[in-house]
């Protein structure tokens, strides 16, 4: 599109835009599975399913909304072959193969797993998926569970227990459940709840403790933790403190989860009751351990775009 602005002869014209490959939808799915490191899928043509039914099935087994799945499945009935190649002569460039394009689209996931939390040389690259990028209706679905409550006291007072969470101090509420999750993680090949953190140490971006890695530590306002436990997806726990005026502060706990496949979706819904129980208890304990109390019970809410986790550029 930028190239068209630099070539007046494209004004008023209609061009086909496509890559160099001509592939069946069957092969397209195979390439995606290979690029994403998934097991080979068994694809069975079922001619009796309509695009509408297929769209709702896709919504059931993946985070993709039916509103997006419907036009995608409807497009399966038509061939999409680029036959007009005039634009290639006007704006020459190397065209990406289907595999290359899919690989670039998956780079975000690869970065968050391999690079975003690497701090050995002092560089911490941004963790991308918690950004408020694509809207849910555009397929940018990720699961969110968030609670907030108002406590007496200042952010500085409430930060003391927040900044000490984990390690020998534990998680203040339902520690048995946390230890059970750590045991399951260790049995699955993870590191579980060990090692903890040195006593009295302040958390910094890139630090690890238990099965967490610190994405952001901004005393006395925010602590963002990336879960490195074995799970069918990527999870972030965000603890935020927002002053509301004289001796009042809002505590916000937000869990974000980017599922991988149907297993990730089932995992999220299975963990929801645990989130609700632990979040409410953790809020009360944060206030109590700071010598304060909640004056408004924990309530579930939907975070705004300004509440998303983010990281500054490192380097």
DSSP per-residue letters across 183-233: HHHHHTTS-TT-S---TTPPP-TT-EETTEEEEEEETTTEEEEEE-SS-SE
Residues 79 and 212 grouped into a single domain: no
Task: Tell me the C-alpha distance between 153 and 159, whole Å.
Answer: 10
Last residue of a domain, which of 114, 146, 180? 114
pLDDT higher at 212 or 123: 212
pLDDT higher at 167 or 236: 236
CATH number at residue 208: 3.30.530.20
Q: Which domain holds residue 85?
A: 2-114
Last residue of a domain, which of 58, 79, 114? 114
Q: Report CA-CA distances (Å) from 306 to 116, 131, 302.
A: 21, 9, 11
Residue 121 lies in a domain: no
Residues 185 and 294 grouped into a single domain: yes
Residues 103 and 153 grouped into a single domain: no
Residue 313 lies in a domain: no
Give SS3 for 264: helix
Q: What is the mean pLDDT of residues 92-113?
A: 75
Residues 177 and 106 grouped into a single domain: no
Residue 130 lies in a domain: no
Residues 110 and 142 grouped into a single domain: no
Burial 239-264 (b: 16+ CB within 10 A, else e): bbbebeeeeebbbbbbbbbbbbbeeb
Give the pLDDT score at 32.
Answer: 87
Residue 270: exposure state from Cβ atoms within 10 A (0-12, 13-18, ≥19)? exposed
Give the pLDDT score at 65.
Answer: 64
Residue 314 lies in a domain: no
Residue 38 lies in a domain: yes
Residues 172 and 90 grouped into a single domain: no
DSSP letters spanning 91-153:
S--PPPPHHHHHHHHHHHHHHHHHTTT--TTS------TTSS-S-GGGT---EEEEEEEEEES
Predicted TM-score of the model (pTM)? 0.62
Residues 107 and 141 grouped into a single domain: no
81 pLDDT tier (thresholds 50, 70, 90): confident
Domain total for the chain?
A: 2
Residues 146 and 243 grouped into a single domain: yes
The CB density around residue 65, as the number of other CB atoms within 10 Å, is: 18
22 pLDDT tier (thresholds 50, 70, 90): confident
- The strand pairing partners of 57, in sequence order, are none
Report yes or no: 243 and 164 within 8 Å, Cβ to Cβ.
Answer: no
Residues 278 and 208 grouped into a single domain: yes
Residue 53 lies in a domain: yes
Lateral strand order in the sheet of 143-152:
208-209, 212-218, 222-227, 233-245, 248-259, 143-152, 299-300
Task: State the DSSP H helix or E strand holding residue 272, giving kind and residue range, or none if neither.
Answer: helix 261-289
Residue 169 lies in a domain: yes
Residues 152 and 110 grouped into a single domain: no
Residues 212 and 263 grouped into a single domain: yes
Residue 126 lies in a domain: no
Write down the mean pLDDT value for the chain: 80
pLDDT higher at 283 or 75: 283
138 pLDDT tier (thresholds 50, 70, 90): very low
State the virtual CA torsion across 214, 218, 221, 222 in degrees, nearest 10. Answer: -20
The answer for residues whose C-beta is within 8 angstroms of residue 140's C-beta and 6 or more apart is 133, 134
Residues 42 and 191 grouped into a single domain: no
């Amino acid at each position: 599109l930028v190239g068209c602005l630099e070539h007046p002869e494209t004004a008023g014209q209609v061009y086909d835009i496509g890559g160099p490959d001509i592939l069946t939808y069957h092969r397209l799915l195979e390439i995606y599975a290979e690029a994403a490191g998934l097991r080979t899928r068994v694809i069975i043509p079922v001619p009796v399913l309509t695009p509408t039914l297929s769209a709702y099935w896709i919504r059931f087994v993946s985070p993709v909304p039916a509103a997006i799945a419907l036009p995608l499945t409807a497009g399966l009935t038509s061939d999409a072959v680029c036959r007009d190649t005039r634009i290639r002569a006007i704006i020459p460039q190397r065209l990406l193969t289907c595999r290359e394009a899919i690989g670039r689209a998956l780079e975000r996931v690869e970065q968050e797993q391999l690079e975003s939390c690497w701090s050995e040389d002092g560089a911490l690259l941004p963790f991308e998926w918690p950004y408020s990028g694509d809207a849910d209706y555009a397929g940018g679905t990720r699961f969110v569970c968030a609670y907030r409550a108002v406590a007496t006291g200042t952010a500085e007072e409430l930060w003391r227990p927040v900044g000490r969470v984990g390690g020998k101090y534990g998680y203040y509420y339902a520690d048995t459940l946390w230890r059970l999750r750590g045991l399951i993680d260790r049995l699955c090949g993870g590191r579980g709840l060990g090692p903890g953190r040195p006593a009295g140490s302040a958390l910094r971006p890139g630090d690890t403790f238990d099965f967490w890695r610190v994405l952001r530590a901004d005393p006395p306002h925010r602590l963002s933790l990336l879960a490195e436990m074995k799970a069918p997806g990527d999870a972030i726990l965000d603890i935020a403190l927002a002053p509301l005026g004289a001796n009042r502060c809002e505590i916000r706990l937000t869990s974000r989860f980017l599922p991988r496949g149907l297993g990730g979706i089932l995992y999220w819904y299975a963990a929801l009751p645990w989130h609700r129980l632990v979040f409410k208890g953790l809020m009360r304990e944060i206030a109590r351990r700071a010598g304060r109390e909640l004056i408004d019970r924990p309530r579930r809410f939907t975070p705004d775009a300004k509440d998303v986790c983010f990281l500054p550029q490192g380097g």
